[in-house]
Chain A
Amino acid sequence: MPDDRSFDDPRPPTEEEWGTPLVEPRSAPTLEKQFRRRIGMVSGAVPYVAPHPWLYRPFLFLSDPALSALSEDVAASISFIIARDNSCRFCYSTFRTLLRLSNYSASEIQDLETHFSAQGFDETEEWGLRLAVRLSRCEHVPQALDRLRGLGYSPTALRETAGISVLNVAANRIGTTLSIPLGRFEDMGEKWYFRSWRLLTRSLLTLTGPERNGMPAVPDAGAEGLLGPWVGILEDTPVGTLLGHLAEQWLSDDRALSRRTKLLMLAVVARGIPAPELEGTVQTALREHHDVSGAAFEAAVDHLGGAAVDAAVEPRLRLARASIRYDFGPIKRIARNCTRDLDRAGTLEAIASIGLANAVARLELLFPLAEP
Chain B
Amino acid sequence: MFLDLALLTLAAVAGTGFWFYYRRTQRLRRRLDDANRELEQLQRTFNRFAPAKVVDDILEKRTLDIAETREVTILFADLRGFTALSERLDAPALLSLLNTYFHSMDRAVDAHSGFISKFIGDGLLVLFGALHHNPWQSTDAVKAALEMQRRVQGLDEDVPGATLSLSIGIHRGPVVAGIVGSFGVKEFTVVGRHVNLASRVEALTRTHGADILITDAVKEDLDPAIALAEQPPAEVKGVQEPIVTHAVRGEGAD
Q: What is A's interface to B at a CB cutoff of 8 Å? A: 4-5, 7-10, 12-15, 84-85, 87, 89, 92-93, 96, 106, 113, 130, 137-139, 186-187, 189-191, 271-274, 302-303, 305, 321, 325, 327, 329-330
- B32 adjacent to A7 (CB under 8 Å): no
- A274 adjacent to B39 (CB under 8 Å): no
Chain B 91-129 interface 0/1 with A at a Cβ cutoff of 8 Å (1 = within) = 000000000100110110011010000000000000000
- B224 adjacent to A303 (CB under 8 Å): yes
Q: How far is the CA of A299 from the CA of B215 in the complex (A)?
A: 21
Looking across the interface, which residue of chain A has its beta carbon closest to that of B31? A106
Q: How far is the CA of A85 from the CA of B56 in the complex (A)?
A: 9
Nearest chain A CB to B100 CB, angstrom units: 5
Within 8 A of A (CB), among B153-202: 154-155, 158
Q: How far is the CA of A330 from the CA of B35 in the complex (A)?
A: 24
Q: How far is the CA of A130 from the CA of B100 in the complex (A)?
A: 39
Given A8-B100, A272-B133, A325-B132, is A96 in contact with B32 using a C-beta cutoff of 8 Å? Answer: yes
Q: What residues on A are CB-neighbors of B40 within 8 Å?
A: 15, 87
Q: What is B's interface to A at a CB cutoff of 8 Å? A: 24-25, 28-29, 31-32, 35-36, 39-40, 43-44, 47-48, 53, 56, 60, 100, 103-104, 106-107, 110-111, 113, 132-136, 139, 151, 154-155, 158, 221, 223-225
- B43 adjacent to A87 (CB under 8 Å): yes
Q: How far is the CA of A60 from the CA of B130 in the complex (A)?
A: 37
- A305 adjacent to B225 (CB under 8 Å): yes
- A303 adjacent to B25 (CB under 8 Å): no
Q: What residues on A are CB-neighbors of B103 within 8 Å?
A: 7, 9-10
Nearest chain A CB to B119 CB, angstrom units: 14
- A272 adjacent to B155 (CB under 8 Å): no
- A93 adjacent to B32 (CB under 8 Å): yes
Q: What residues on B are CB-neighbors of A85 within 8 Å?
A: 56
- B25 adjacent to A321 (CB under 8 Å): no
Q: What residues on B are CB-neighbors of A89 within 8 Å?
A: 36
Q: What residues on B are CB-neighbors of A5 within 8 Å?
A: 107
Query: Can you report 7 A-B residue pairs in the complex whose CB atoms are below 8 A from each other?
Result: A7-B103, A7-B155, A14-B44, A92-B36, A138-B132, A190-B25, A190-B28
Q: Which of A14, A93, A96, A106 contacts B43 (CB 8 A)?
A: A14
- B39 adjacent to A84 (CB under 8 Å): yes
Q: What residues on B are CB-neighbors of A303 within 8 Å?
A: 136, 139, 223-225
- The B interface is mostly helix, strand or loop, or mixed, namely helix
- B155 adjacent to A130 (CB under 8 Å): no
Q: How far is the CA of A274 from the CA of B136 in the complex (A)?
A: 12
Q: How far is the CA of A204 from the CA of B224 in the complex (A)?
A: 62
Q: How far is the CA of A159 from the CA of B100 in the complex (A)?
A: 49
Q: What residues on A are CB-neighbors of B224 within 8 Å?
A: 303
Given A13-B110, A92-B36, is A138 in contact with B139 using a C-beta cutoff of 8 Å? Answer: no
- Indicate the member of A4, A8, A130 with the most B CB atoms within 10 Å: A8
Q: Which 7 A-B pairs have the closest CB atoms?
A: A190-B28, A303-B223, A13-B110, A7-B100, A7-B104, A14-B44, A271-B135
Given A87-B43, A190-B28, A325-B113, is A93 in contact with B36 using a C-beta cutoff of 8 Å? Answer: yes
Q: How far is the CA of A8 from the CA of B100 in the complex (A)?
A: 7
Q: Which of A4, A15, A190 contacts B32 (CB 8 A)?
A: A190
- A138 adjacent to B223 (CB under 8 Å): no
Q: How far is the CA of A87 from the CA of B134 in the complex (A)?
A: 21
- A274 adjacent to B133 (CB under 8 Å): yes
- A113 adjacent to B39 (CB under 8 Å): yes
Q: What residues on B are CB-neighbors of A325 within 8 Å?
A: 113, 132
Q: Which of A14, A272, A321 contacts B47 (CB 8 A)?
A: A14
Nearest chain A CB to B133 CB, angstrom units: 6
Q: How far is the CA of A189 from the CA of B223 in the complex (A)?
A: 50
Q: What residues on B are CB-neighbors of A305 within 8 Å?
A: 223, 225
Nearest chain A CB to B18 CB, angstrom units: 13
- A13 adjacent to B106 (CB under 8 Å): yes
Q: What residues on A are CB-neighbors of B35 within 8 Å?
A: 96, 106
Q: What residues on A are CB-neighbors of B104 within 8 Å?
A: 7
Looking across the interface, which residue of chain A has its beta carbon closest to that of B109? A13
- A12 adjacent to B47 (CB under 8 Å): yes
Nearest chain B CB to A40 CB, angstrom units: 19
Q: How far is the CA of A355 from the CA of B60 in the complex (A)?
A: 26
- A12 adjacent to B132 (CB under 8 Å): no
Q: How far is the CA of A87 from the CA of B41 in the complex (A)?
A: 11
Q: What residues on B are CB-neighbors of A87 within 8 Å?
A: 40, 43
Looking across the interface, which residue of chain A has its beta carbon closest to that of B40? A87
Q: What residues on A are CB-neighbors of B133 within 8 Å?
A: 138, 272-274
- Indicate the member of A7, A9, A113, A130 with the most B CB atoms within 10 Å: A7
Nearest chain B CB to A302 CB, angstrom units: 8
Q: What residues on B are CB-neighbors of A271 within 8 Å?
A: 135
Q: Which of B29, B132, B136, B158 contacts A190 (CB 8 A)?
A: B29
Q: What residues on A are CB-neighbors of B223 within 8 Å?
A: 302-303, 305
- B136 adjacent to A13 (CB under 8 Å): no
